Protein backbone atom coordinates (compact mmCIF):
# COMPACT_ATOMS: atom_id res chain seq x y z
CA UNK A 1 0.00 0.00 0.00
CA UNK A 2 1.62 3.20 -1.20
CA UNK A 3 1.18 6.55 0.50
CA UNK A 4 -0.08 9.22 -1.88
CA UNK A 5 -0.45 12.89 -1.07
CA UNK A 6 -3.46 14.46 -2.81
CA UNK A 7 -3.64 18.22 -2.45
CA UNK A 8 -7.09 19.74 -2.83
CA UNK A 9 -8.61 16.49 -1.54
CA UNK A 10 -11.87 18.18 -0.51
CA UNK A 11 -12.19 19.69 -3.97
CA UNK A 12 -14.12 18.25 -6.89
CA UNK A 13 -11.35 16.29 -8.64
CA UNK A 14 -9.38 15.59 -5.46
CA UNK A 15 -12.41 14.01 -3.80
CA UNK A 16 -13.11 11.66 -6.70
CA UNK A 17 -9.44 10.79 -7.12
CA UNK A 18 -9.02 10.02 -3.41
CA UNK A 19 -12.04 7.71 -3.52
CA UNK A 20 -10.67 5.85 -6.53
CA UNK A 21 -7.19 5.50 -5.06
CA UNK A 22 -8.50 4.05 -1.81
CA UNK A 23 -10.78 1.70 -3.74
CA UNK A 24 -7.63 0.43 -5.43
CA UNK A 25 -5.88 -0.13 -2.10
CA UNK A 26 -3.79 3.04 -1.74
CA UNK A 27 -3.28 5.12 1.40
CA UNK A 28 -4.18 8.78 0.89
CA UNK A 29 -3.08 11.85 2.80
CA UNK A 30 -5.50 14.59 1.77
CA UNK A 31 -4.49 18.25 2.05
CA UNK A 32 -6.98 21.09 1.78
CA UNK A 33 -7.53 24.54 3.28
CA UNK A 34 -11.35 24.42 2.93
CA UNK A 35 -11.39 28.01 1.72
CA UNK A 36 -14.60 29.89 0.99
CA UNK A 37 -14.17 30.38 -2.76
CA UNK A 38 -17.33 28.29 -3.01
CA UNK A 39 -19.71 26.61 -0.54
CA UNK A 40 -17.60 25.14 2.28
CA UNK A 41 -20.49 22.84 3.25
CA UNK A 42 -20.08 20.99 -0.05
CA UNK A 43 -16.37 20.52 0.63
CA UNK A 44 -17.11 19.30 4.14
CA UNK A 45 -19.64 16.79 2.77
CA UNK A 46 -17.04 15.39 0.39
CA UNK A 47 -14.50 15.23 3.20
CA UNK A 48 -16.93 13.44 5.52
CA UNK A 49 -17.28 10.65 2.94
CA UNK A 50 -13.52 10.33 2.54
CA UNK A 51 -12.92 10.18 6.27
CA UNK A 52 -15.11 7.10 6.58
CA UNK A 53 -12.22 5.13 5.07
CA UNK A 54 -9.36 4.37 7.51
CA UNK A 55 -6.88 4.67 4.64
CA UNK A 56 -7.56 8.41 4.45
CA UNK A 57 -5.96 11.05 6.66
CA UNK A 58 -6.87 14.72 6.37
CA UNK A 59 -4.49 17.61 6.92
CA UNK A 60 -5.84 21.16 6.88
CA UNK A 61 -3.17 23.64 5.78
CA UNK A 62 -2.42 26.44 3.36
CA UNK A 63 -0.22 25.68 0.37
CA UNK A 64 1.50 29.04 0.81
CA UNK A 65 2.44 28.25 4.43
CA UNK A 66 6.04 27.12 3.96
CA UNK A 67 6.51 25.75 7.46
CA UNK A 68 3.26 23.79 7.36
CA UNK A 69 4.17 22.28 3.98
CA UNK A 70 7.68 21.38 5.12
CA UNK A 71 6.23 19.68 8.21
CA UNK A 72 3.69 17.78 6.11
CA UNK A 73 6.30 16.32 3.74
CA UNK A 74 8.66 15.51 6.60
CA UNK A 75 5.97 13.70 8.57
CA UNK A 76 4.22 11.84 5.76
CA UNK A 77 7.01 11.15 3.23
CA UNK A 78 4.61 10.36 0.35
CA UNK A 79 5.82 8.23 -2.54
CA UNK A 80 3.66 10.08 -5.07
CA UNK A 81 2.16 13.56 -4.97
CA UNK A 82 -0.91 14.52 -6.99
CA UNK A 83 -1.16 18.28 -6.77
CA UNK A 84 -4.71 19.43 -7.54
CA UNK A 85 -5.11 22.29 -5.04
CA UNK A 86 -5.18 25.73 -6.62
CA UNK A 87 -7.13 28.93 -6.72
CA UNK A 88 -9.47 28.02 -9.56
CA UNK A 89 -11.62 30.06 -11.90
CA UNK A 90 -10.86 32.37 -14.80
CA UNK A 91 -13.41 35.03 -13.87
CA UNK A 92 -12.42 35.26 -10.21
CA UNK A 93 -8.83 35.98 -11.28
CA UNK A 94 -10.06 39.34 -12.55
CA UNK A 95 -11.37 40.21 -9.08
CA UNK A 96 -8.74 38.77 -6.76
CA UNK A 97 -5.43 38.24 -8.60
CA UNK A 98 -3.34 38.02 -5.43
CA UNK A 99 -5.12 34.80 -4.43
CA UNK A 100 -3.70 33.17 -7.58
CA UNK A 101 -0.15 34.25 -6.82
CA UNK A 102 -0.37 32.98 -3.23
CA UNK A 103 -1.91 29.60 -4.02
CA UNK A 104 -0.83 28.79 -7.55
CA UNK A 105 2.71 30.17 -7.52
CA UNK A 106 3.92 30.34 -3.91
CA UNK A 107 1.97 27.21 -3.03
CA UNK A 108 3.33 25.26 -5.99
CA UNK A 109 6.84 26.30 -5.07
CA UNK A 110 6.33 24.73 -1.63
CA UNK A 111 5.06 21.52 -3.24
CA UNK A 112 8.09 21.32 -5.53
CA UNK A 113 10.47 21.85 -2.62
CA UNK A 114 8.72 19.18 -0.57
CA UNK A 115 9.01 16.73 -3.45
CA UNK A 116 12.68 17.53 -3.99
CA UNK A 117 13.71 17.31 -0.36
CA UNK A 118 11.83 14.11 0.41
CA UNK A 119 12.59 12.02 -2.68
CA UNK A 120 9.06 11.87 -4.08
CA UNK A 121 9.03 9.35 -6.94
CA UNK A 122 6.53 11.21 -9.14
CA UNK A 123 4.81 14.60 -9.03
CA UNK A 124 1.59 14.74 -11.03
CA UNK A 125 0.10 18.23 -11.13
CA UNK A 126 -3.00 19.88 -12.53
CA UNK A 127 -2.54 22.32 -15.34
CA UNK A 128 -5.49 23.52 -17.42
CA UNK A 129 -6.84 23.83 -20.94
CA UNK A 130 -6.80 27.58 -20.19
CA UNK A 131 -3.08 27.65 -21.00
CA UNK A 132 -3.96 27.45 -24.71
CA UNK A 133 -5.17 31.05 -24.44
CA UNK A 134 -4.94 32.78 -27.79
CA UNK A 135 -4.31 29.54 -29.73
CA UNK A 136 -6.91 28.94 -32.44
CA UNK A 137 -5.66 25.81 -34.20
CA UNK A 138 -7.91 22.91 -33.24
CA UNK A 139 -7.63 20.47 -31.62
CA UNK A 140 -5.33 21.88 -28.96
CA UNK A 141 -2.15 19.82 -28.95
CA UNK A 142 0.41 19.43 -26.17
CA UNK A 143 3.05 19.80 -28.88
CA UNK A 144 1.94 23.39 -29.64
CA UNK A 145 3.44 26.51 -28.12
CA UNK A 146 1.24 28.04 -25.38
CA UNK A 147 2.80 31.43 -24.70
CA UNK A 148 -0.28 33.64 -25.05
CA UNK A 149 -2.53 33.26 -21.97
CA UNK A 150 -5.61 35.48 -21.78
CA UNK A 151 -6.18 35.30 -18.01
CA UNK A 152 -3.98 35.43 -14.92
CA UNK A 153 -5.31 32.00 -13.94
CA UNK A 154 -3.99 30.58 -17.22
CA UNK A 155 -0.67 32.37 -16.73
CA UNK A 156 -0.21 30.76 -13.30
CA UNK A 157 -0.92 27.32 -14.76
CA UNK A 158 1.62 27.87 -17.52
CA UNK A 159 4.05 29.04 -14.84
CA UNK A 160 3.46 25.78 -12.96
CA UNK A 161 4.50 23.84 -16.05
CA UNK A 162 7.70 25.88 -16.35
CA UNK A 163 8.49 25.60 -12.64
CA UNK A 164 8.01 21.83 -12.73
CA UNK A 165 10.26 21.51 -15.76
CA UNK A 166 13.03 23.38 -13.98
CA UNK A 167 12.85 20.95 -11.04
CA UNK A 168 12.78 17.98 -13.40
CA UNK A 169 15.91 19.32 -15.10
CA UNK A 170 17.78 20.40 -11.96
CA UNK A 171 16.93 17.57 -9.59
CA UNK A 172 15.72 14.71 -11.84
CA UNK A 173 12.29 14.98 -10.19
CA UNK A 174 9.81 13.15 -12.46
CA UNK A 175 6.98 15.62 -13.19
CA UNK A 176 3.82 15.19 -15.24
CA UNK A 177 1.43 18.06 -15.95
CA UNK A 178 -2.19 17.39 -16.88
CA UNK A 179 -4.24 19.92 -18.83
CA UNK A 180 -7.83 19.26 -17.79
CA UNK A 181 -10.67 20.26 -20.12
CA UNK A 182 -13.95 21.54 -18.55
CA UNK A 183 -14.51 18.87 -15.92
CA UNK A 184 -18.10 18.12 -14.85
CA UNK A 185 -20.07 15.51 -12.94
CA UNK A 186 -21.50 14.68 -9.49
CA UNK A 187 -20.06 16.68 -6.59
CA UNK A 188 -18.93 19.33 -9.08
CA UNK A 189 -17.97 22.92 -8.41
CA UNK A 190 -20.86 25.39 -7.89
CA UNK A 191 -19.08 28.05 -9.98
CA UNK A 192 -19.09 25.87 -13.11
CA UNK A 193 -21.70 26.12 -15.86
CA UNK A 194 -23.50 22.82 -15.26
CA UNK A 195 -24.01 23.56 -11.57
CA UNK A 196 -25.02 27.19 -12.18
CA UNK A 197 -27.45 26.28 -14.96
CA UNK A 198 -29.05 23.41 -13.03
CA UNK A 199 -29.63 25.52 -9.94
CA UNK A 200 -31.03 28.46 -11.92
CA UNK A 201 -33.37 26.33 -14.04
CA UNK A 202 -34.78 24.52 -11.01
CA UNK A 203 -35.28 27.87 -9.27
CA UNK A 204 -36.96 29.32 -12.39
CA UNK A 205 -34.25 31.94 -12.83
CA UNK A 206 -32.60 32.88 -16.15
CA UNK A 207 -29.18 31.49 -17.03
CA UNK A 208 -26.39 33.72 -18.35
CA UNK A 209 -25.11 32.55 -21.73
CA UNK A 210 -21.92 34.29 -22.81
CA UNK A 211 -20.71 35.10 -26.33
CA UNK A 212 -24.38 35.06 -27.37
CA UNK A 213 -24.30 31.27 -27.09
CA UNK A 214 -21.53 30.83 -29.68
CA UNK A 215 -19.30 28.72 -27.42
CA UNK A 216 -17.92 25.20 -27.64
CA UNK A 217 -16.36 23.26 -24.79
CA UNK A 218 -14.67 19.88 -24.53
CA UNK A 219 -16.75 18.78 -21.51
CA UNK A 220 -14.95 15.92 -19.72
CA UNK A 221 -16.67 13.64 -17.22
CA UNK A 222 -15.07 13.35 -13.79
CA UNK A 223 -14.63 9.54 -13.91
CA UNK A 224 -12.61 9.91 -17.11
CA UNK A 225 -10.46 12.58 -15.51
CA UNK A 226 -9.52 10.52 -12.46
CA UNK A 227 -8.95 7.38 -14.53
CA UNK A 228 -6.55 9.40 -16.67
CA UNK A 229 -4.78 10.69 -13.56
CA UNK A 230 -4.25 7.19 -12.17
CA UNK A 231 -2.95 5.91 -15.53
CA UNK A 232 -0.40 8.72 -15.62
CA UNK A 233 0.56 8.24 -11.95
CA UNK A 234 1.75 4.73 -12.81
CA UNK A 235 4.14 6.07 -15.49
CA UNK A 236 6.80 8.40 -14.07
CA UNK A 237 8.31 10.09 -17.11
CA UNK A 238 11.83 9.40 -18.32
CA UNK A 239 13.97 11.75 -20.40
CA UNK A 240 13.00 11.69 -24.07
CA UNK A 241 16.04 10.55 -26.06
CA UNK A 242 14.53 12.03 -29.23
CA UNK A 243 14.07 15.53 -27.77
CA UNK A 244 15.87 18.15 -29.85
CA UNK A 245 16.72 21.62 -28.56
CA UNK A 246 16.85 22.97 -32.12
CA UNK A 247 13.14 22.17 -32.46
CA UNK A 248 11.93 21.75 -28.86
CA UNK A 249 8.74 19.81 -28.20
CA UNK A 250 6.85 21.52 -25.32
CA UNK A 251 5.25 18.21 -24.28
CA UNK A 252 8.46 16.26 -23.62
CA UNK A 253 12.00 17.03 -22.53
CA UNK A 254 15.59 15.94 -22.02
CA UNK A 255 14.46 15.90 -18.36
CA UNK A 256 11.92 13.47 -16.79
CA UNK A 257 8.94 15.64 -17.70
CA UNK A 258 5.69 15.20 -19.67
CA UNK A 259 2.54 17.17 -20.45
CA UNK A 260 -0.78 15.54 -21.39
CA UNK A 261 -4.25 16.78 -22.28
CA UNK A 262 -7.16 15.00 -20.58
CA UNK A 263 -10.30 15.94 -22.48
CA UNK A 264 -13.27 14.22 -24.05
CA UNK A 265 -11.91 15.15 -27.54
CA UNK A 266 -15.49 15.84 -28.68
CA UNK A 267 -16.31 19.53 -28.19
CA UNK A 268 -19.99 20.30 -27.71
CA UNK A 269 -21.83 23.49 -28.60
CA UNK A 270 -23.00 25.28 -25.47
CA UNK A 271 -26.57 25.44 -26.75
CA UNK A 272 -26.57 21.66 -27.28
CA UNK A 273 -25.22 21.23 -23.74
CA UNK A 274 -28.11 23.34 -22.41
CA UNK A 275 -30.63 21.39 -24.47
CA UNK A 276 -29.42 18.08 -22.98
CA UNK A 277 -29.62 19.55 -19.49
CA UNK A 278 -33.18 20.80 -20.13
CA UNK A 279 -34.14 17.29 -21.18
CA UNK A 280 -32.83 15.75 -17.97
CA UNK A 281 -34.45 18.41 -15.81
CA UNK A 282 -37.75 18.33 -17.70
CA UNK A 283 -37.74 22.13 -17.86
CA UNK A 284 -36.83 24.83 -20.35
CA UNK A 285 -34.24 27.41 -19.36
CA UNK A 286 -34.87 31.13 -19.41
CA UNK A 287 -31.90 32.42 -21.37
CA UNK A 288 -30.02 35.69 -20.91
CA UNK A 289 -27.61 36.12 -23.82
CA UNK A 290 -24.50 38.18 -23.06
CA UNK A 291 -21.25 39.15 -24.82
CA UNK A 292 -17.97 37.29 -24.30
CA UNK A 293 -16.39 37.76 -20.90
CA UNK A 294 -12.84 39.00 -20.46
CA UNK A 295 -10.36 36.14 -20.11
CA UNK A 296 -12.64 33.62 -21.82
CA UNK A 297 -12.14 31.78 -25.12
CA UNK A 298 -14.79 30.75 -27.68
CA UNK A 299 -13.84 27.08 -27.97
CA UNK A 300 -11.73 24.27 -26.50
CA UNK A 301 -10.91 20.92 -28.08
CA UNK A 302 -8.38 18.42 -26.71
CA UNK A 303 -6.01 16.34 -28.79
CA UNK A 304 -5.47 13.30 -26.53
CA UNK A 305 -3.28 11.17 -28.80
CA UNK A 306 -0.25 11.51 -26.50
CA UNK A 307 -2.31 10.29 -23.55
CA UNK A 308 -3.76 7.42 -25.57
CA UNK A 309 -0.37 6.38 -26.95
CA UNK A 310 1.36 6.35 -23.56
CA UNK A 311 -1.38 5.01 -21.28
CA UNK A 312 -3.84 3.24 -23.58
CA UNK A 313 -6.66 5.43 -22.29
CA UNK A 314 -8.78 8.28 -23.60
CA UNK A 315 -11.98 9.75 -22.09
CA UNK A 316 -15.18 8.41 -23.62
CA UNK A 317 -18.23 9.18 -21.43
CA UNK A 318 -21.01 10.66 -23.61
CA UNK A 319 -22.20 14.11 -22.57
CA UNK A 320 -25.82 13.02 -22.15
CA UNK A 321 -24.73 10.23 -19.79
CA UNK A 322 -22.56 12.52 -17.68
CA UNK A 323 -25.17 15.26 -17.41
CA UNK A 324 -27.79 12.70 -16.42
CA UNK A 325 -25.59 11.45 -13.59
CA UNK A 326 -24.96 14.99 -12.40
CA UNK A 327 -28.68 15.85 -12.36
CA UNK A 328 -29.47 12.68 -10.42
CA UNK A 329 -26.79 13.54 -7.84
CA UNK A 330 -27.94 17.17 -7.60
CA UNK A 331 -31.56 16.21 -6.96
CA UNK A 332 -30.53 13.76 -4.25
CA UNK A 333 -27.96 15.98 -2.54
CA UNK A 334 -30.15 19.09 -2.51
CA UNK A 335 -33.39 17.13 -2.05
CA UNK A 336 -34.98 18.47 -5.22
CA UNK A 337 -38.01 16.34 -6.09
CA UNK A 338 -39.08 15.88 -9.67
CA UNK A 339 -41.99 18.01 -10.86
Q: Catalytic site residues?
A: 153
Question: In DSSP terms, which residues pair with 80 in a beta bridge?
Answer: 4, 122
CA distances from 222 to 185, 225, 241, 321 (A): 6, 5, 34, 12
Strands 207-209 and 287-289: parallel
| Exposure string over 243-275, b if 16+ CB within 10 A, otherwise e | eeeeeeeebbbebbbbbbbbbbbebbebeebbe
CA distance 288 to 303: 32
Amino acid sequence: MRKILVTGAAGFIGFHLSQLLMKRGESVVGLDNLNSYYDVTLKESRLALLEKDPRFRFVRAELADRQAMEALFAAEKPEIVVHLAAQAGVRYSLENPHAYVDSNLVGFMNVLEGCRRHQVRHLVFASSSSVYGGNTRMPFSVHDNVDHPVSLYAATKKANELMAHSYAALYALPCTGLRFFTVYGPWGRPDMALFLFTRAILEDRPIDIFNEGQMKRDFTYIDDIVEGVTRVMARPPAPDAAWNGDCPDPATSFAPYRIYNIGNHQPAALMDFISILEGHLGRKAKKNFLPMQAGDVPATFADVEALRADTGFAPQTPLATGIGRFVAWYREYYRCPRD
